[in-house]
Structure 1
Amino acid sequence: MVEKAPQVVQEAGTRGAGSPVPDQTLYDVAAIEDVREGDILPITLQEQSIALVRMGDDIHAIGRRCPHKGATFRGDLACRSSVHGDVVVCPWHKAVFGVRDGKLKEPIAFSHLPVYPVRQVEGRVLVGAHPMSRKPVEQSGEEERVLIVGAGAAAASAIYTLREEGFAGRITLIGDEGFLPYERPALSKGVFLGGGEKVQPSPLLSEAFYARHEIARMRGKVVALDCEKKEVLLEEGKRYSADHILITTGGRPILPPLPGIELEGVMSLHTVRDAWKIAEEITGDQAVILIGCGLTTLETASALRQKGAGVTIIATERPFPMEGQWGREVGQILRRLHEDNGVAFVTDTAVVGIHGTERVTGVELGDGMVLNCTHVLVSVGNKPSRDFLPSHIEDEGVVGGIIVDDTMQVRPGIYAAGDVAAFRRNGALCRIEHWRPAQCEGRAAARSILGLPPQPMPVPWYWTQQFGKKLEYLGWGESFDHVLIEGDLGGFDFMAAYMKGQKVVALVSSGRSAAMARAAVDFEGFVAREVRTRIV
């Protein structure tokens, strides 16, 4: 990092790309040779955290921290996207920004990066300390109305994209929780470590954003949709119509038909209210049974154990967590991680009933054993929230959801995005139930509403945090027949390539955030350049 006081060189300049910049003092901050191709050189200039990025002969200066959670851009996080050109990628949550304009290209951030003036003079890099002003976006759709049903990640992304791309019409958001769209993944990643009042996940867009951009918000449950009239009916009897309707209703937890499933103390985790209840009721001296063994279960188990509660996971699908999705090798280290932290596993028999009169006292297993507990948390999957749809919108039964085309459109003027949407990929229906993909789909739907050309959907990425260990996945959830691993699996410093024959169909890693960031932007190129030379 360049921390010495920079030399004042001149009062005006041009960017490396040659476009004019406003008059301002430029400072000598680095030698050109110190800014390496594709690498990021961090500097501090008058308390501004700036990243110097070299792409070819041009050097650019942009903000050094991701506006989402403040991750620092450093090292080899600059790369080329076939869709967006030269970009930098957040190592934490894979937001993608243009190097030349700082503009957000892909979620999950909801803000652009500042861009600073740059000039190259006699082997030195000169940078201004004040961000360049942005050209106002051209406004459109002043007389049009967009109605968004469902207030989750896809909705927030669509709202942001509509306004940032110049939509000037009316936007109305209807949600049934009564909250602004918030960071739902935080619910299972540690919110239980404090009391209920501390369970406050961050809103995806601030209250000020909704006010500044005149987003109308209301709480209500939609019970019917008329595609021809482009109209929705709320449970209370009110009707709302629009030129464009975007459905982002997500999913709801599946509750298995077990005896006793209705008892007090049997819970699921989906909303912030669920999290409040769990945080308030479950203390460090209680015993909790978790049914299911997906990522939400594992993250919840980690949080509850750190709180001191006794935790037993009951899952009969496979002996190791996430084995079907991530393979036996990664599943083994996940189970070992949990067992080393006091989590017990039952994988050879299933829950057949929940005991108690008014409140749960235990669960009965298929072999006749009864495990005593104070609470049961059920996490066996979600079903798409689509009960309000007319019968002629089919779901084809396999993946559920609402089938959309390449533009996220269901019918003319009707769109869907997020967990509720299913789209075709390689001839098969695909429905992705994760946070960043939902935001990417919301962005794609907004671009379609605006009449912008469709862009390829990014390869889905998601992450998990358990007992301080972070793992990342990148792929479409395709089946694989073997796994190749490079690095220290037990030390959580590895890259795993999931193979279908000779093709890499997915990656799982730990301790390789920068590499996964590059792969998230250019999966095929990353596989060809880096995975095949090191692993395959």
Structure 2
Amino acid sequence: MTETREGTGHRTMEQAPRPVLGPDASDADTTLPDQTLYDVAAVEDIKEGEVLSVILKEQSIALVKVGDEVRALGGRCPHKGAPLRGRLHCQSKVHGDVLVCPWHKAVLGVEDGRVKEPVAFSGLPVYPVRLVEGRVLVGSSPVRQAPVEKRQEDESVLVLGGGAAGASAIYTLREEGFAGRIILIGDEGTPPYDRPALSKGIFLGGPDKVQPALLLNEEFYAHHEVIRVQGTVAALDCDARRVQLDDGRDYQADHVLVATGGRPARPELPGIDLEGVLTLHDVRDARKISESITGDQAVILIGGGLTALELASALRQKGAGVTIIAPEHPVPMEAQWGREVGQILLRLHADNGVAFVSDTAVVGIYGAKHVEGVELEDGMKLPCTHVLVAVGNRPCRDFLPMPLGGGEEGAMPGIVVDEEMRIQPGIYAAGDVATFRRESGLCRIEHWRQAQIEGRAAARSILGLPRQPMPVPWYWTQQFGKKIEYIGWGEPFDSVLIEGDLGSFDFMAAYMQGQKVVALVSAGRASAMARAAVDFEGFVAREVKTSIV
């Protein structure tokens, strides 16, 4: 790989940018807004493929060179405010010139600032630019974007599920001009929110602080006239495109998007219904964990996946004693990330006081009314105050008629969709509940960004827009302050090539199937993974094979 450290691409102005051209200047460009332009940088300072960050009137501005021209956009990602600087200007086969957020891989157009791929739910402001004698002049007020043309005013969309896929679909529909009726049905009282925050320690601040950021704020729903309904879907008549709720209410629409996600699986164990046995799915669960588990208690975690590991990290930081019981995962994430990366995770948790049991399984949970401990298959009993179960999710699809509610051929437990995210005419599915086809077979990806990608794809199908290729899935985890990123389809691999230092969490690992790179895992290489998220094959060819393959 060609990089181990990347430049900041950031320029701090020692003095206030000098106003050069004003509205009365004789050589002012009449195509620009009627505003003063400021000299912010030299054209030669902006390198091909890089973003130069400057400050103009206390605003962060990202400067990007496109051929002989320069573009100026907002300098922070609209999702979480990540600074856009360094090697984040990419060429997408689908979207052309784009900027990619290094944190969560939102893809934003350089020409218009609009969202091209999630996870952002608003675009970047675009500022007027003029080049004069090798200098870059930028206005401090954004260019007003032309409104999108309204379409499908007489049609309606019914979105089932209050998660990331549904929010992404709603945002895309309105962003692309859908002017018809939109109804969102979810079983929580709040609109869709940042669900990954729940397992990453949001409950450490106490139950009153357990409120993740909304994906779309209340003003969005009001301004865009999105009707929100709280309720649980009981049945869906696909032919009539009619939904019935468990309280008898029913709704009908021209298009129905099933984005009901999944719910935590609960193994059939004696004592599984005791008080103190917890799972984590929504904000209510997170508040219960925050209220009931204190720093002086002992917790047993059943499961060895990312949710279990993130919960272990958060609970240990709270002070609780944590034991993970995962006989199928003796080395955490080994099946997905390989033994080498799995072992550094194991060491990270062990160094922070997490105990692992991998040579036996839980066969029961004991206690009178409340949990008192777990019994293992080797006869040992481990006392504890709480048991957290994190053994995967089951798609919420029981309201669908068979065979739609039963997957296909028993291979995947989700709803099989076509390339347009369509189940049948007028009925779509996206997110954790959706299963789609790839060359290697059926595939269901249970990750937050992927759910938003699929929700956007379903919305584009409803709008009749051209299908876009599905980007390679990306996800991330943060445990004990260490962030690890993955990009890939979860395909099997037979070797792992690693560049960097695993122990210091500064590395890039390439997962090989024969001579083909099928996935990447990294730590400390955020902008490299951003480029890979936009063009995986191109990134591998340019920046992986040349040095480690």
TM-score, normalised via structure 2 length: 0.95
Name the counterpart of 1:472. Answer: 485
**Residues 73-84 of structure 1 mapped to structure 2, 5 A cutoff:** 73-84=84-95
Does the aligned pair in 1 maintain the 2:304–2:329 contact within 8 Å?
A: no
**Correspondence for 1:463 among 468, 476, 494:** 476
Deviation at 1:2, TM superposition (A): 4.2
* Alpha-carbon distance between aligned partners in 2 of 1:8 and 1:375, rounded to the nearest angstrom: 63
Superposed CA deviations along residues 283-329 of structure 1, whole A, max 9, x for unmatched, are 00000000001000000000000000000000011311001111100
Name the counterpart of 2:407. Answer: 395
Name the counterpart of 1:444. Answer: 457
Q: Which amino acid aligns with 1:22?
A: P
Deviation at 1:192, TM superposition (A): 2.5
Name the counterpart of 1:48. Answer: 59
**Secondary structure in structure 1 of the residue aligned to 2:372:** strand
Superposed CA deviations along residues 506-527 of structure 1, whole A, max 9, x for unmatched, are 0000000010000000000000
* Alpha-carbon distance between aligned partners in 1 of 2:468 and 2:144, rounded to the nearest angstrom: 27
**Secondary structure in structure 2 of the residue aligned to 1:338:** helix
Name the counterpart of 2:536. Answer: 523
**Secondary structure in structure 2 of the residue aligned to 1:528:** helix
Deviation at 1:135, TM superposition (A): 0.4
* Alpha-carbon distance between aligned partners in 2 of 1:476 and 1:466, rounded to the nearest angstrom: 22
- Quick check: 1:25 aligned with 2:36? yes
Question: Sequence identity, in percent?
Answer: 71
Of 56-65 and 412-421, the range deviating more from structure 2: 56-65
Does the aligned pair in 2 maintain the 1:486–1:534 contact within 8 Å?
A: no
**Correspondence for 1:505 among 518, 541, 547:** 518
Name the counterpart of 2:224. Answer: 213
**Correspondence for 1:290 among 298, 301, 306:** 301
Q: Which amino acid aligns with 1:322?
A: M
**Secondary structure in structure 2 of the residue aligned to 1:218:** strand
Superposed CA deviations along residues 323-348 of structure 1, whole A, max 9, x for unmatched, are 11111001100000000000000000
Superposed CA deviations along residues 81-100 of structure 1, whole A, max 9, x for unmatched, are 00000000000000010111
* Alpha-carbon distance between aligned partners in 2 of 1:449 and 1:535, rounded to the nearest angstrom: 43
**Residues 30-429 of structure 1 mapped to structure 2, 5 A cutoff:** 30-393=41-404, 394-396=406-408, 397-429=410-442
Superposed CA deviations along residues 84-120 of structure 1, whole A, max 9, x for unmatched, are 0000000000001011111111110100100011111
Deviation at 1:427, TM superposition (A): 4.7
Does the aligned pair in 2 maintain the 1:2–1:30 contact within 8 Å?
A: no
Does the aligned pair in 2 maintain the 1:151–1:180 contact within 8 Å?
A: yes
**Residues 6-21 of structure 1 mapped to structure 2, 5 A cutoff:** 6-11=17-22, 20-21=31-32
Q: Which amino acid aligns with 1:533?
A: T
Deviation at 1:19, TM superposition (A): 10
Superposed CA deviations along residues 112-161 of structure 1, whole A, max 9, x for unmatched, are 10001111111111111110000010001111110001110000000100
Q: Which amino acid aligns with 1:428?
A: G
* Alpha-carbon distance between aligned partners in 2 of 1:350 and 1:161, rounded to the nearest angstrom: 45
* Alpha-carbon distance between aligned partners in 2 of 1:133 and 1:198, rounded to the nearest angstrom: 37
* Alpha-carbon distance between aligned partners in 1 of 2:248 and 2:475, rounded to the nearest angstrom: 39
Q: Which amino acid aligns with 1:495?
A: M
Deviation at 1:10, TM superposition (A): 1.9
**Secondary structure in structure 2 of the residue aligned to 1:530:** helix
Deviation at 1:475, TM superposition (A): 0.5
- Residue ranges of structure 1 left out of the alignment (5+ in a row): none
* Alpha-carbon distance between aligned partners in 2 of 1:371 and 1:19, rounded to the nearest angstrom: 76
Deviation at 1:11, TM superposition (A): 3.1
In structure 2, do the counterparts of structure 1 residues 490 and 528 end up closer, same or farther at CA, with 3 Å as the change threshold? same
Deviation at 1:239, TM superposition (A): 1.3
* Alpha-carbon distance between aligned partners in 2 of 1:318 and 1:243, rounded to the nearest angstrom: 46
* Alpha-carbon distance between aligned partners in 1 of 2:473 and 2:386, rounded to the nearest angstrom: 34
The runs of 4+ residues in structure 1 deviating greater than 6 Å are none
* Alpha-carbon distance between aligned partners in 1 of 2:147 and 2:273, rounded to the nearest angstrom: 55
Deviation at 1:392, TM superposition (A): 3.4
Q: Which amino acid aligns with 2:326?
A: A
Q: Which amino acid aligns with 2:407?
A: D
**Secondary structure in structure 1 of the residue aligned to 2:143:** coil
* Alpha-carbon distance between aligned partners in 1 of 2:379 and 2:184, rounded to the nearest angstrom: 49
Q: Which amino acid aligns with 1:282?
A: I
Does the aligned pair in 2 maintain the 1:2–1:29 contact within 8 Å?
A: no
Does the aligned pair in 2 maintain the 1:192–1:304 contact within 8 Å?
A: no
Deviation at 1:12, TM superposition (A): 6.1
* Alpha-carbon distance between aligned partners in 1 of 2:547 and 2:36, rounded to the nearest angstrom: 46
Superposed CA deviations along residues 24-77 of structure 1, whole A, max 9, x for unmatched, are 211111111111111111111112210111122221100000111110011111
Does the aligned pair in 1 maintain the 2:130–2:136 contact within 8 Å?
A: yes
* Alpha-carbon distance between aligned partners in 1 of 2:71 and 2:328, rounded to the nearest angstrom: 51
Q: Which amino acid aligns with 1:97?
A: L
**Secondary structure in structure 2 of the residue aligned to 1:360:** coil
* Alpha-carbon distance between aligned partners in 1 of 2:126 and 2:509, rounded to the nearest angstrom: 36
* Alpha-carbon distance between aligned partners in 1 of 2:535 and 2:20, rounded to the nearest angstrom: 38
Superposed CA deviations along residues 462-517 of structure 1, whole A, max 9, x for unmatched, are 00000000000000111111111000001000000000000000000000001000
**Secondary structure in structure 1 of the residue aligned to 2:112:** coil
Superposed CA deviations along residues 404-436 of structure 1, whole A, max 9, x for unmatched, are 111101010000000000000115110000000
- Quick check: 1:514 aligned with 2:527? yes
Q: Which amino acid aligns with 1:395?
A: G
* Alpha-carbon distance between aligned partners in 2 of 1:479 and 1:12, rounded to the nearest angstrom: 61
